[in-house]
């Protein structure tokens, strides 16, 4: 019954004409009250004359409100602009009454038009007070009535500055909101203990379990513009143990039409807790780079490849070729592009290991820019399958790279990984060989070979984020291989931006690396994901240490031994200066490795890999015996 009543209230709105009549009645009432105030609440005035003046006041107020359309606003959503309309309307009313009074005194028109100037000004003040007060009273009454029928969350707003106050106003003005602000949090010592809108400003240190329980606190909304990511991580880490949900207000430039709405306040995402600012690349040269070009993306159905393809759709390319051997995800990408009405793209089911098939594709389409993202990347799987790692990561790269040279491709961009740096596993070592191969092709023909090297990508297929999410959904535990293991992270968007930028700025032979900030401890990442899920560690979800997997490092690196960097025009992108190599010797060894047969034993294949990559020292792997032999 109550729900039906609530539903009726929520879906019924007062007619604008009813609102207009209400406003006019208020104006008539305040006119009588103004006379009473003027004469100290004694009827020492001509009451009959005042009653005769009421129709005039009603008519003028009607005209004034129609002019400003103050009755068009929905009362339950009354806001600042409605307030301004009421003030303008009442001032128009007062101005007309003053002009009428002036005209009457000058030309002695009629006694009804003889109004008191002091009464008009008192009437103006009363109109503003009563009309605004009535609208906000009805709004508050509606909000209270609605909130009585539904649960509401008690929140603190972190930030007692302009952004925090605007967030408070947005919450208060949204009648559909279930949030109830109980105070502010601020770091400034001069604000702590003060009150804003009758709400206390607390320090973060005051928020403990007793505070949360006493005030039934359920959420903290961080409303600090341009907050330092490290500070955001510190705040959320301090609040998570109390099972308080943390949300964040978007930057002011993302507010819709300059106004903040409650719907724009979002949950903290795991990428917000990387402890560094997102890397932003804006380069107008990119438009010219990809204009009217045939572009090929290999591994286009993968996490990085598909995001590169999505970003490329923003340019005026001639044709976009999406190549992958995984037909189902490639089909999904095709359907996504069709839904978005993207044209001039073509999905191609093909394997980069198939030289004849790849040669046909190059002859048919003649791509001028290639993003080579096709690769096997799962460390444990490749540790047990070095033959497949060589076939895809080495042979697949060499086939596509050689065809790029043969067909006069302008640029070839290799998507590599930080696991190629001082590799400890087969996957990383084969990716390092791919880097070496394209480096050796520098100067062969017109093709410029460029390598991008970056760390783990948040949310990519097989990364720890989706794994942890699945483990949390199943009730845990989360598995972490080592308590001290760390990784560099970036978002898929950041990684794809780097690849596109590298294609533009590269002149051939470079390895581009990111300044990715501090590496993230995987154990802390797991704890943060538990907290972000609204759960508690270890009470709800436990974390168990399983031990390092074969070939796994505790710490990843972005530069190999003997490498250093030079800067570029972007402060977050650097060029790795690699050690000189004997190209002829390296290419010959890679060619020999490329002829490996499936019948070759794993130890034999890995020994050839180690011969090409001397810095490849196996870790927690069966191939450590080869390092012992080498030493």
What positions carry a catalytic annotation?
Answer: 419
* Whole-angstrom distance, CA of residue 261 vs CA of residue 282: 28
* Whole-angstrom distance, CA of residue 48 vs CA of residue 45: 9
3-state SS, one letter per residue, for 16-27: HHHHHHHHHHHH
Q: Per the structure block, which two tokens stand in for 290?
A: 């990809």
3-state SS, one letter per residue, for 221-239: EECCCCCCHHHHHHHHHHH
Question: What is the enclosing helix (H) or strand (E) of 346?
Answer: strand 345-349
Preceding peptide of 477 cis, ω within 30°: yes
* Whole-angstrom distance, CA of residue 159 vs CA of residue 165: 8
Contact 54, 34 (CB under 8 A): no
Closest C-alpha among 606, 551, 547 to residue 379: 551
3-state SS, one letter per residue, for 489-518: EEEHHHHHHHHHHHHHHCCCCCEEEECCCC
* Whole-angstrom distance, CA of residue 120 vs CA of residue 111: 16
Contact 318, 292 (CB under 8 A): yes
* Whole-angstrom distance, CA of residue 595 vs CA of residue 556: 30
Strand 199-202 and strand 195-196: pairing?
A: antiparallel
* Whole-angstrom distance, CA of residue 324 vs CA of residue 318: 20
Angle (deg, nearest 10), helices 229-239 and 522-532:
60
Residues whose CB falls within 8 Å of the CB of residue 22, separated by 6 or more in sequence, listed in order: 134
Closest C-alpha among 287, 322, 283 to residue 301: 322
């Amino acid at each position: 019954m109550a729900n039906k009543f609530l539903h009726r209230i929520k879906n019924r709105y007062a007619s604008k004409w009813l609102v207009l009549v209400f406003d006019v009645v208020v104006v008539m009432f305040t006119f009588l009250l103004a006379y009473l105030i003027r004469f100290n609440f004694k009827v020492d005035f001509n009451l009959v004359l005042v009653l005769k003046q009421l129709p005039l006041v009603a008519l003028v107020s009607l005209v004034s409100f129609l002019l400003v359309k103050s009755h068009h606003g929905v009362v339950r959503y009354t806001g600042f602009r409605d307030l301004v309309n009421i003030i303008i309307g009442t001032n128009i009313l007062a101005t007309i009454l003053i002009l009428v009074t002036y005209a009457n005194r000058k030309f002695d028109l009629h006694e009804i038009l003889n109004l008191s100037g002091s009464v008009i000004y008192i009437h103006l003040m009363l109109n503003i007070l009563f009309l605004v007060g009535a609208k906000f009273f009805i709004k508050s009454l509606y909000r209270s009535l609605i909130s009585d029928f539904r649960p509401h969350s008690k929140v603190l707003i972190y930030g007692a500055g302009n952004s925090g106050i605007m967030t408070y106003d947005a919450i208060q003005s949204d009648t559909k909101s279930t949030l109830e602000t109980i105070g502010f949090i601020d770091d400034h010592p001069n604000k702590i203990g003060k009150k804003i809108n009758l709400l206390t400003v607390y320090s973060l240190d005051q928020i403990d379990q007793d505070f949360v329980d006493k005030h039934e606190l359920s959420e903290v909304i961080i409303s600090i513009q341009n907050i330092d990511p490290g500070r955001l991580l510190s705040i959320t880490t301090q609040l998570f143990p109390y099972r308080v949900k943390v949300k964040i207000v978007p930057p002011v430039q993302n507010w819709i039409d300059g106004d903040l709405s409650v719907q724009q306040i979002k949950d903290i995402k795991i990428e917000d807790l990387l402890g560094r600012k997102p890397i932003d690349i804006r380069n107008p040269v990119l438009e010219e780079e990809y204009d009217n070009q045939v572009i090929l993306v290999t591994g286009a159905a993968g996490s990085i490849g598909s995001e590169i393809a999505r970003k490329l759709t923003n340019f005026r390319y001639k044709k976009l070729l999406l190549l992958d051997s995984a037909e189902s995800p490639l089909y999904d990408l095709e359907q996504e592009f069709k839904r978005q009405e993207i044209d001039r793209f073509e999905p191609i089911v093909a394997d980069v290991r198939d030289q004849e098939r790849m040669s046909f594709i190059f002859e048919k389409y003649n791509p001028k820019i290639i993003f080579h993202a096709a690769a096997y990347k799962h460390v444990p799987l490749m540790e047990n399958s070095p033959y497949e790692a060589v076939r895809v990561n080495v042979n697949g790269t060499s086939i596509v790279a050689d065809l790029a040279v043969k067909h006069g491709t302008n640029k070839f961009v290799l998507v590599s990984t930080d696991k190629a740096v001082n590799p400890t596993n087969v996957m990383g070592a084969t990716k390092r060989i791919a880097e070496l191969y394209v480096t050796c092709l520098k100067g062969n023909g017109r093709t410029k070979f460029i390598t991008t090297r970056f760390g783990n990508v948040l949310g990519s297929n097989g990364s720890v984020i989706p794994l942890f999410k699945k483990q949390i959904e199943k009730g845990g535990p989360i598995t972490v291989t080592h308590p001290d293991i760390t990784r560099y992270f970036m978002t898929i968007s950041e990684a794809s931006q780097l690849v596109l930028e590298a294609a533009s700025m590269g002149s051939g032979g470079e390895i581009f690396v990111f300044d990715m900030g501090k590496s993230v401890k995987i154990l802390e990442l797991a704890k943060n994901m538990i907290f972000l899920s609204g759960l508690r560690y270890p009470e709800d979800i436990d974390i168990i240490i399983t031990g390092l997997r074969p070939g796994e490092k505790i710490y990843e690196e972005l530069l190999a031994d003997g490498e250093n960097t030079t800067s570029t025009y972007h402060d977050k992108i650097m060029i790795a200066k690699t050690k000189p190599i004997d190209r002829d010797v390296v290419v010959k060894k890679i060619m020999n490795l490329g002829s490996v047969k499936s019948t070759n034993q794993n130890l034999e294949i890995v020994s050839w890999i180690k011969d090409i990559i001397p810095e490849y020292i196996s870790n927690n792997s069966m191939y450590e015996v080869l390092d012992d032999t080498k030493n």
